[in-house]
Amino acid sequence: MSSRYKTAEIRKLLTNPKNIELVINDLYGRDATKYKTSYMVADISGGPGQSCRFDIVGQDAGRFSNWNTDGTETHGDLIDAARAVRDCTTADAIQYLGDLLATSPRLEVVDTNPTSPPKTPELARISSDTLRKLRSRLLKSTTAMDYLKAQGLDPDFLVDHFGIGLTNLQRQHHNGKQGNFITAPVLQQSGVLSKRMIKITVPGLSVNPQNEDIWCTGSPTTTWSGPSEGKRWIFVAQGVKEVWRIHQAIRGSSLEARISIISSTHSSQIPVEWNDEDFWKPWERVFLGQYSDTTGEDLANQVRRQARREFFRVEPPREIANDWATFFEADGRKRDIVDFDVLLNAAPAIGMPLPNRDSTVPLSEQEDGVYEDQRININGAYVNGKMYYPFQVRRVATVKRKRQMPDGNTRMVPEKASYYETRIVRSDGIILGMNIAPAPHGVEEEDKVIVLDDGTEVLTIPKPRDYSTWSWKNINTFVKSFETGHPSSRSTGEIMESIIAYLRQLTWLPNDTDYHLISAYVMMSYCYNAFEAIPLLLLNGEKGSGKTSLAEGIADLSFNGQILGGGSEKAFVRFIDQGRGLLVLDDLESVGRRSNDEGGYGDINQVLKVSYSKSTGLKSVVEKNGTTRTLNFYGPKVITNISGIDAVNATRMYQISCRPMPSAVQETGSIRGRDVNASEKLRQELHSWGMSNILQADQIYRQKVATRGGRAEQIAAPLETIAEMTKNSTFVEAVQSAIRRLAYSRSDNLSAEDFLTQAVETIIERGVRNFISLSQIQAELALMPETRVLDAASAVPRDLLSLQDHTTIGRMLKTLAIRTGQPGRARLSGHAVRYYALDEEFVANVVGKAKHEDRVVEDPYEVFEPEGARQAFAFCETKTCAACPYDVVCDAALPGIRAGKRY
C-alpha cells in the first residue's frame, strides 16, 4: 500500500459526505448527477446515466451499486471506483485519494495501521527448508493433488500462498506407521507461516489419521487468509479448506484488498481470542459464513454470543449448496467474485446481542448496566421453563388511622381495611408480587418498569378478575403440594379419561375419535405457550346439531376459557390481550362484523389466518389516542359455524362435524348436557396439571418438531405431544387417527392459481388499485405457509412449484385476467422488480365483494409520484418496516430489500 497514507484513515475519510462528493466530482465531473442522497453515473468507469449509484449518507456511504451489465464491478467503494476510472493499482488509487483529500486533513507517513485488530501472540516461524520438503512431497503425490483438485482447489496457489505440503510416513502411532497427511501451516495475522500444522486426511493415502477430515493438535487458534493490514471486513469460515477456497475465488480482486478470511484450526471449537470483544471491535463488518445447516448455525451462534456487536450472516444459498467449496463449483459452472460479492452485500444483519441475565434475579440483585427490553405479557406466559399465572385476591388487614376523639385529641386507632391485590403464581410453586420499579425523576410513566419479585419484566399490570379461571383455594393447594413434594394432580392419562367421559355425556359426535382429539386440545390449552404453532378447532354443523353446546363445554374445561358471541370485535381484542386462554367464537358468520367505528381493529376472520402461529400472531395496532399497542393473537380457538370456512383458514384447522343426535342415542339418556360443577372441578385440576407438566410437554414437543418439515405436521405435534404424555397407546392411536382423517391437504384442495388469486385479492384489500409489483405478490404468498414458497424446491408439491417461478406468475396473472398490458421493470431498493397494471374490472369486483362481506378494505396507498412503478412499490416505499404487514417474511421472501431501503 501507499507509503504516505494510512489505508484505514483514507477509508474513514471516505465516509464523510463532503469528502465523498469531492471525490465523485473529481472522478466523474459533469457525468455525475445528484439524486436526493446519492450520485448517479452510467457505469463505474464513468459516463452520463443512472445505472451506477453512489450513496452519500447512511450505512453504505461511499459505496456504489452498479447495475450496468457491462460494468466492471457490481459493488464496491470509492477506492475501487478510483482504481477503475484511473486504470491504476489499489496502492495508486489510495495515493490519489490521499492527495485529493490532503486538506481534510493532510495525512502523515506511517508504517503501521493502529486500527488493525489486536495482534494475537506470534507463533514460531516455519523454516524454509521444512516448507520446501513438505511441498516437494505434495507435488510428487498424484493422489493428494487429485484430492485437492476434486474439491475445486488450485494446488499451485495453495503451495505458494498457504505453504501446504505432505507429511511422510513416521513411526509414532500406537498402531505403527502414521502419515501421508496434507499439512497446512497456521497462517498468522501478520501473514507469517508458523511451525504449527493443520493436518488434512486424504482418503486412500493417509495412514492412521486422528480425524477423517481435519485436525490440529493443541488448543484452537485462528488461521488467516493473509495479512490483515488495511482491511476493514472479516469473514469467519467454518474450516481451513473454506478459507482456501474463498481466498482462491477473490484473489486479485478489490475484495481481496478489503476482507480477511479466518477460521479456527479446530472446525468445531472456537479460539480463546474470539471470546474477547476487542478481537472484533476494529472491523467495520464481521460476516459469519459458517455452513447453511444445523452445525453451521450452532457455530455461528457460538461466535455471536461472545462479542457485543452487530454481525452479518452470509451463507451459501441452500438450494445450491451448504458449503462454500460446493457453492463455487455447483451446477457445472464456476461462480466468481461477482456471485460472492452479491451475497456479502445482501447479507442480513443479525444484531448485537445484549448482556444476558437470569430473569429470576430480583431487581435488587441486578448489576448496574444496560439490559435488553424483555417485557412479557404475563397472562399465562411461559419463559425459561417456568409458567406464570396472575390471579386476584382480597386482602384484609388491620391498619392504624388518625381519628379525632370526643375530647378533641387525635389518636392512632386500629381499623380493618380491605383491598384487592394482584399476585402471580409460578409453576415452581412460588407466589410473586408485582411493583413499579423506582425510576429517576422525570421518567415518563410509560417508561417505568413493572417488575415481579423475581425480576421478570411485565408489559402491563394484568387484570385477571374477568378472565382468571383458577381459584385462590386451588392455587393455594397447588403451592402447598409443591412445598410438600406431593403431586398436585392425577396423572395425564387419568385426567384424560375423565375429560373424554365428560365430553361423551355432553354431546354426541358421529366420529368417536373426535372425543379424543378434543380432549387433547383441552389439555393442550393449559400449556400452549410451550408450542410454536397449534391448530384451531372448527365445529361445523346445521342448527340443532349441538355445536354450540359442545363449544360451551370446551370453554368450561379449558384454560381461561371464554365465549365470544356475535358482533363483539372489541371484546375479542380485550380477551386476546388480557385473557390469554382458549376463546370460543360462536357463530363465526356474525362474529367480527365491522361497524362504522373507524377505530376498530379489523376483521376477525383475517386475524384467524395468523393466530395459529407464535411467529405470525403478533400485530401492532394504533388506538384512537395515537398510542401503539402490540397484540398477540396466538392461542387456542374454537369456532362454530354453519357454512364452513375459507380454504386458507381450513389449512390451520381441524374441522369437527356436528350432526343432530339420532333418536336411538337420545333414548339411552346418556347425553345429559353441560354439568358446570363437574367441568369446574376438572378445570381446577387441569390448572395444576398444566403448571406441573408444561416443562415435560415442552421437551417432548421439541423432539417432535425437530424432524417436522410441513406445516400440517407442525400443528399436529402439540396434540401428539399431549397424547404421548398419557402413556396410553390406545389414546395415542385414536388422536393420530383423528388427525389423519381431519388434516386438510393443501396441494389436493387448492391450486397454485387459487393461492395467487387470493394473494392478489388480499393485496388489493390492503390498498393497491392500479399497479402491483412481483415483490409484493411474493411477500403476500410467503404469509401463507401452505404455499410453501419459502421452502426448498425439493420439498414443494409439484403443483405448487409454479409459485416459485417469476415468469410463470406473470403468465398466470394474464391467464386469470388479473393484469393487462405488458409488464414494466423498475428498481425497488436497488433491485430490479417487475410490476403489472391491474385489470380495472378485477379490482372493482374484489373491492365490491369485500365490502359486501363486511371485510376491511383499506384506502388506496398514498402515492406521491404518478408513474406505475411508484404506485406498485408504494407498499414498501410509503411504509416503515415496523408498520409493514410483510415485516416477518421480508428477509426470507425479498432478500436485500430491507437493507437497501431508504426511509
pLDDT tens, 681-737?
999 999 999 999 998 998 888 877 755 556 677 888 999 999 999 999 999 999 988
User: Under CATH, domain 492-742 is a member of which superfamily?
Assistant: P-loop containing nucleotide triphosphate hydrolases (3.40.50.300)
| 215-229, 394-408, 469-483, 856-870: least confident range | 856-870
pLDDT of residue 354: 38
Give the model's pLDDT for residue 117: 47
CB 584 within 8 Å of CB 521: no
Over 90: is that where the pLDDT of 576 sits?
A: no
Mean pLDDT across 391-415:
84
Residue 173 has pLDDT above 60, yes or no: no
- If you average pLDDT over residues 342-370, what whole number do you get? 65
CA distance readout (Å), 385 to 357, 381, 610, 726, 736: 15, 10, 25, 21, 27
CATH topology of domain 128-351: Dna Topoisomerase Vi A Subunit; Chain: A, domain 2 (3.40.1360)
Tell me, what amino acid is at 731?
F
**Dist. CA 666–CA 828, nearest whole Å:** 65
pLDDT value at residue 568: 55
> What pLDDT score does 305 carry?
66
pLDDT in the model for residue 707: 56
Check residue 419 and give its pLDDT.
85
Q: Write down the residue that cell numbers 398477540 correspond to.
A: 632
User: For the ranges 114-128, 467-481, 502-516, 526-540, which has the lowest average pLDDT?
Assistant: 114-128
- The pLDDT of residue 403: 84
Residue 112: per-residue pLDDT: 34
User: Does the pLDDT value for residue 477 go beyond 60?
Assistant: yes
- Say if residue 118's pLDDT is above 80: no
Mean pLDDT, residues 620-643:
75
For residue 165, pLDDT over 60 is answered with yes
Most confidently predicted of 167-176, 201-210, 364-373, 787-796: 201-210
Kindly give, in sequence order, each residue whose CB lies less than 8 Å from that of residue 657, ignoring residues fewer than 6 positions away.
Answer: 509, 510, 511, 514, 540, 541
Residue 120 carries which side chain, given as an amino acid letter?
Answer: T
pLDDT in tens, 646-659: 666 777 888 888 88
DSSP reduced 3-state for 604: helix
The string of DSSP codes covering 264-277 is ESSTTS--GGGGSH
The strand ranges marked E within 323-468 are 349-351, 382-383, 386-404, 410-426, 431-432, 434-436, 450-452, 457-458
CA distance linking residue 860 with residue 875, whole number of Å: 10
Three-state DSSP at 797 gives coil
Distance CA 156, CA 298 (A): 34
Radius of gyration of the chain (CA): 33
Read off the C-alpha cell for 103: 486538506
Where are the extended beta strands (E) located within 192-277?
A: 193-200, 214-215, 222-224, 233-236, 259-264
Cell 480425524 belongs to which residue? Answer: 211
- Cα angle 455, 460, 463 (rounded to 5 degrees) comes to 110
For residue 636, whether the previous peptide bond is cis, meaning omega lies within 30 degrees of 0, is: no
Question: Is pLDDT larger for residue 610 or for residue 695?
Answer: 695
Q: 3-state secondary structure string, 766-789?
A: HCCCCEEEHHHHHHHHHCCHHHCC
Average pLDDT over every residue of 66-76: 69
Q: What percent of the chain has pLDDT over 90?
A: 24
* Confidence class for position 172, pLDDT limits 50, 70, 90: low
- Residue 164 clears pLDDT 90, i.e. is over it: yes
pLDDT at 212: 85
Q: Are 125 and 119 in contact (CB under 8 A)?
A: no
CA distance 56 to 38: 5
The arithmetic mean of pLDDT across residues 281-303, rounded, is 80
Contact 32, 40 (CB under 8 A): yes
Reported as a single tens digit per residue, the pLDDT across 760-794 is 998 998 899 999 999 999 998 887 766 778 766 76
> Quick check: 566 pLDDT over 60?
no
Report the C-alpha gap between 239 and 270 in whole angstroms.
11
The cell for 634 is 396466538
- Separation of alpha carbons 437 and 448, rounded Å: 7
Average pLDDT over residues 278-298: 82
| Percentage of the chain exceeding pLDDT 70 | 84
The domain 7-100: what is its CATH number?
3.90.580
Distance CA(874)–CA(863), nearest Å, equals: 6
The DSSP letter of residue 577 is I
Which residues lie closer than 8 Å to 519 by C-beta, 6 or more apart? Answer: 496, 499, 500, 503
Q: Going by C-beta distance under 8 Å and a sequence separation of 6 or more, which residues neighbour residue 826?
A: 832, 833, 835, 869, 872, 873
Mean of the pLDDT values across residues 287-308?
Answer: 75
Instruction: Please give the average per-residue pLDDT across 862-886, as a whole number.
Output: 82
Gap between the terminal Cα atoms of the chain? 37
**Residue 583: which residues within 8 A CB-CB, separation 6 or more?**
561, 562, 563, 564, 572, 575, 576, 635, 636, 637, 638
pLDDT reading at 352 higher than 70: no
Q: Is a pLDDT exceeding 70 seen at residue 745?
A: no
Res. 801: pLDDT tops 50: yes
Is the Cβ–Cβ distance between 125 and 194 less than 8 Å? yes
46 compared with 760, residue with greater pLDDT: 760
Whether the pLDDT of residue 580 is over 50: the answer is yes
- CA distances to 80, 187, 395, 638, 667 from 507, in Å: 76, 75, 41, 16, 14
Residue 741 has pLDDT above 90, yes or no: no
Pairing label, strands 193-200, 562-564: unpaired
Q: What is the reported pLDDT for 374?
A: 74
d(C-alpha 770, C-alpha 768), whole Å: 6
536 vs 742, which has greater pLDDT?
536
Q: What is the dihedral of CA 612, 618, 622, 624, to 10 degrees?
A: 50
The arithmetic mean of pLDDT across residues 137-148, rounded, is: 92
Q: In 3-state terms, what secondary structure has residue 311?
A: strand
pLDDT of residue 552 exceeding 90: yes
185 pLDDT higher than 70: yes
Give the burial class of 131: count Cβ atoms within 10 A of its Cβ; 0-12 exposed, 13-18 middle, 19 or more buried.
middle
Residue 805 above 70 pLDDT? yes
Collapsing DSSP states into helix, strand and coil, what is residue 109? coil
Q: At 96, is the pLDDT very low, low, confident or very high (cuts 50, 70, 90)?
A: confident
Whether 266 shows a pLDDT value over 60: the answer reads: yes
Checking if the pLDDT of 277 tops 80, the result is no
Q: Where are the domains of the chain?
A: 7-100, 128-351, 368-466, 492-742, 748-900
**Predicted pLDDT at 434:** 85
For the cut 90, the answer to whether the pLDDT of residue 386 exceeds it is no
Mean pLDDT, the chain, whole residue set: 81
Confidence band, pLDDT 50/70/90 cuts, at residue 60: confident
Task: Identify the pLDDT of residue 813.
Answer: 93
168: burial class by Cβ within 10 Å (0-12, 13-18, 19+)? Answer: exposed
Band (pLDDT 50/70/90 cuts) for residue 444 is: confident
Residue 474 binned pLDDT confidence (cut-offs 50, 70, 90): very high
Three-state secondary structure call for residue 355: coil
Please state the φ and ψ torsions of residue 354, each to the nearest 5 degrees: -85, 170
- Give the whole-angstrom CA distance, residue 452 versus residue 378: 10
